[in-house]
Amino acid sequence: MLQHVPHWLGSLLRNVRAGHAKLVIAQEALGLGDGFIELSSPAFADGGRLPIRFTADGEGVSPPLIWRGVPEGATSLALIVEDPDAPATSPLVHAIVWNLPPDETGLAEGAIARDGHGEADGRDVGRNSLFAEGWLPPDPPTGHGAHDYVFQLFALSDTPVIGDNPGRSSMVDAIAGRVLAAGMLVATYSRGEEAGVGAAGLVEARA
């Protein structure tokens, strides 16, 4: 989507960014408490560079995620992935997944894909910023610098009725006041830079 922005324009827009304060997890209306979910990926370290295969420059599949620490009493989980560095007024939504079972401990590579009317266990994939289901591969403008891609996971006290194919605002309204615990994982990506070493070996060693 933004990969065709010329380098000179990306450079001019370098300081135009939505802002991390607009991330869903930063919204006061959610009523976040002290509950913490440990969210990580076997493909990259927290704060590390997102491997190219998960971006618009590669295969464009969603990365694998793992988590632990979902509190007792949670009835479902919701995930949203946003880019707060997008040159826009609001963070760019790269994925929404909701109604994940509370005993789920992760998502496999490529799991955030178009799913029509959802899975048999109730989970569903919502709309990204292109108004389509599934994972929107990162494609920051050349010359715009590094972008953060923030994975935000929420454990909910009850399962909200969001409707078919929810977008960002519908999800925020639905989970406000229902968040028992939350976790966050950040990946970075920019064009024209070498990828760093991720955390795959570390996660495999722990397993």
Each residue of 18-55: pLDDT tens digit?
Answer: 688 888 998 888 888 889 999 999 999 999 999 999 99
Q: Are 60 and 54 in contact (CB under 8 A)?
A: yes
Is the pLDDT at 194 greater than 90, yes or no? Answer: no
Starting at the edge strand that comes first in sequence, how are the strands of the sheet with 92-100 ordered? 124-125, 92-100, 76-83, 147-156, 179-189
Average pLDDT over residues 129-143: 90
The residue whose two tokens read 């715009």 is 144
DSSP strand E in 56-158: where?
65-68, 76-83, 92-100, 106-107, 124-125, 147-156
Rounded CA gap, 140 and 83, in Å? 9
Is the pLDDT at 82 greater than 90, yes or no? Answer: yes
Per the model's pLDDT, the better-predicted residue between 166 and 193 turns out to be 166
pLDDT confidence of residue 198:
44
Rounded CA gap, 167 and 129, in Å? 8
pLDDT confidence of residue 197:
43
The residue among 170, 175, 171 whose CA lies nearest residue 158 is 175
pLDDT confidence bin for 13, thresholds 50/70/90: very low
pTM: 0.83
Q: Are 135 and 51 in contact (CB under 8 A)?
A: no
Is the pLDDT at 205 greater than 50, yes or no? Answer: no
Q: In angstroms, what is the C-alpha Rg of the chain?
A: 16
Q: How many CB atoms lie within 10 A of CB 13?
A: 17
Say whether domain 7-206 belongs to CATH 3.90.280.10: yes
pLDDT confidence bin for 184, thresholds 50/70/90: very high
Average model confidence (pLDDT) for the chain?
A: 82
**Residue 189 three-state SS:** strand
pLDDT confidence of residue 2:
54
Is the pLDDT at 61 greater than 70, yes or no? Answer: yes
Residue 69 zone, left/alpha/beta (φ > 0; ψ -120 to 50; rest):
left
Q: What is the pLDDT of residues 90-128, one digit of tens each?
A: 899 999 998 999 999 999 999 999 876 656 565 788 888
Q: What is the pLDDT of residues 142-158, one digit of tens each?
A: 888 889 999 999 999 98
The residue whose two tokens read 């010329």 is 6
Average pLDDT over residues 172-186: 92
Q: Where are the domains of the chain?
A: 7-206
pLDDT confidence of residue 172:
87
- Which residues does 21 contact at the CB level (< 8 Å), separation at least 6? none
Average pLDDT over residues 79-90: 90
The residue among 37, 64, 22, 47 whose CA lies nearest residue 179 is 37
